[in-house]
């Protein structure tokens, strides 16, 4: 019997077509949740219009489909659910967990990435100001979790991040808030994504605690690097996936994930390669360290 209580997701931002790095995350989350006989959902994270490329969502969905990564249920577009992110922000505000920040970009830039709480007690009104979540009301000191691939990870939010933004001054909802709200609304039990998001996870755990949401299982796969040791991303123009080479792309993703696919499966159909991948999926085989973006002192290889 399929276990419909389990659900995983792939949540691309429509900033360009899938590249090899994002295909790896999609394939891994698909194989993992299908081995658990759960549902695989696709969510388009389109709430940051300045970064979006017209047509990218449709391209991504075509690419997923061509690679045999077939989603259950309809695709969720975050832009159609702004109301629920704002409601969650309100809920935090009502608990006195938020405040508005008038700091200039220059001031914030000069802080080196850790906000110092300057506006915390100024009681500023919302007008064109960023809304920040106050740390300290809940446990924000040792936010720890066990990643099923990376092992123990912990972060002191105060030392590493400071009170962080839930809504930007231009009114846009932050990725951190929207992702937590939707993982909750979609009943996501297993979050598998690239390790570039490992250090976002403690912020997401903190928001979950403030909103009384359950915590999903987290799995971060090391992000793919190009020959210069840079993360493959749309920003550094990672090669897009070639059309008509889907079976090869899948095979390469399985090799990259060290699932040890036998050479002969490279000639099978997309559906057959996916089936092989589900049956042989092994989290334990995934490399932990390749291209890891986290400082060493935050990781233990328990
Ligand atoms: N939309 C995010 C991205 O494309 C991923 C969100 C997530 O998987 O949590 O980087
Ligand atoms: Zn401020």
Neighbours of ion ligand 2 (CB under 5 A): 101, 103, 118-119
Tokens standing for 97?
A: 């967990």
Pocket lining for ligand 1, CB < 6 angstroms: 11-13, 45, 179, 193, 197
Mutational test site, ligand 1, from 11, 64, 223, max ligand atoms within 8 Å of CB? 11
Same fold, 7-79+222-298 and 82-177: yes
Average pLDDT over residues 205-228: 89
What is the H or E stretch that residue 146 is in? strand 143-147
- Reading the block at residue 293, the tokens are 């973006």
Where do the domains of the chain lie? 7-79+222-298, 82-177
237 has a pLDDT exceeding 60? no
Question: Span 49-77, mean pLDDT?
Answer: 97
Confidence of residue 233 (pLDDT cuts 50, 70, 90): low
pLDDT in tens, 68-116: 999 999 999 999 999 999 999 999 999 999 999 999 999 999 998 899 9
Q: How far apart are CA 70 and CA 119, in angstroms?
A: 46
Residue whose C-alpha is closest to residue 17's, from 259, 249, 256: 249
170 to each of 14, 120, 250, how far by Cα in Å?
20, 19, 40
Q: Per-residue pLDDT for 258 more than 80? A: yes
Q: How far is the CA of 111 from the centre of ligand 1 (A)?
A: 26
CA-CA distance, 68 to 61, in Å (whole number)? 11
| Higher per-residue pLDDT: 142 or 10 | 10
Q: Give yes or no for residue 1 having a pLDDT over 80.
A: no
Q: Output the pLDDT for position 225.
A: 64
Distance in Å, CA 22 to ligand 1 centroid: 10
Question: Could you name the CATH architecture of 7-79+222-298?
Answer: 3-Layer(aba) Sandwich (3.40)
Contact 190, 7 (CB under 8 A): yes
Question: What would the mean pLDDT of 227-251 be, rounded to a whole number?
Answer: 74
Test site for ligand 1: of 41, 176, 197, most ligand atoms within 8 A of the Cβ: 197
Say what the pLDDT of residue 136 is.
86
Atom 6, ligand 1: residue with shortest CA distance: 11
Q: For residue 243, what pLDDT band results from cuts at 50, 70 and 90?
A: confident
- How many other C-beta atoms are found inside a 10 Å radius of the C-beta of residue 22? 26
Counting ligands in written order, the one closest to the CA of 129 is: 2
- 0.85 cut: is pTM over it? yes
Which ligand 1 atom sits nearest the alpha carbon of residue 10?
A: 8
Choose one of 17, 27, 179, 200 to mutate for the ligand 1 pocket test, by most ligand atoms within 8 angstroms of C-beta.
179
Atom of ligand 1 nearest to the CA of 25: 8
| Residue nearest ligand 1's atom 7 by CA | 11
In tens, the pLDDT along 280-290 reads 999 999 988 76
Ligand 1 atom closest to residue 194's alpha carbon, by position in its atom list = 8
Tell me what the pLDDT averaged over the chain comes to. 90
Q: What is the reported pLDDT for 301?
A: 34
CA distances from 139 to 134, 183, 206, 219, 294 (A): 11, 21, 8, 22, 22
Report which bound ligand comes closest to the CA of 192: 1
Give the CATH number of domain 82-177.
Answer: 3.40.50.620
Query: What pLDDT, in 10s, does the model give residues 136-170?
Result: 877 777 899 999 999 999 999 999 999 999 999 99
Q: Which of 27, 176, 184, 193 to mutate to test the pocket of ligand 1 (most atoms within 8 A of CB)?
A: 193
For the CA of 45, the nearest atom of ligand 1:
1
């Amino acid at each position: 019997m399929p276990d419909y209580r389990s659900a995983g997701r792939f949540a691309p931002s429509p900033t360009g077509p899938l590249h090899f790095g994002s295909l790896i995350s999609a394939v891994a989350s698909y194989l993992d949740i299908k081995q658990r006989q759960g549902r695989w959902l696709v969510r388009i994270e389109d709430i940051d219009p300045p970064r979006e490329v017209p047509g990218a969502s449709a391209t991504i969905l075509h690419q997923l489909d061509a690679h045999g990564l077939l989603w259950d249920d309809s695709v969720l577009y975050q832009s159609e659910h702004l109301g629920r992110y704002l409601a969650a922000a309100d809920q935090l505000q009502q608990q006195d967990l938020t405040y508005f920040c008038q700091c200039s970009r220059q001031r914030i830039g000069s802080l080196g990435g850790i906000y110092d709480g300057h506006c915390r007690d100024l009681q500023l009104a919302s007008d064109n100001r960023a809304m920040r979540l106050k740390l300290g009301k809940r446990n924000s000191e040792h936010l720890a979790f066990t990643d099923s691939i990376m092992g123990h990870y912990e972060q002191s939010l105060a030392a590493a991040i400071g009170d962080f933004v839930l809504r930007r001054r231009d009114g846009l909802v932050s990725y951190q808030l929207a992702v937590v709200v939707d993982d909750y609304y979609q009943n996501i039990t297993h979050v598998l994504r690239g390790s570039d998001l490992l250090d976002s996870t403690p912020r997401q755990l903190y928001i979950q605690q403030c909103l009384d949401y359950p915590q999903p299982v987290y799995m971060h796969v090391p992000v793919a690097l190009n020959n210069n040791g840079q993360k493959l991303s749309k920003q550094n123009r990672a090669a897009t996936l070639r059309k008509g080479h889907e079976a090869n792309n899948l095979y390469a993703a399985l090799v990259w994930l060290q699932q040890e696919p036998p050479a002969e499966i490279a000639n099978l159909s997309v559906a057959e390669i996916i089936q092989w991948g589900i049956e042989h999926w092994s989290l334990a085989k995934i490399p932990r360290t390749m291209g890891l973006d986290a400082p060493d002192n935050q990781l233990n290889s328990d």
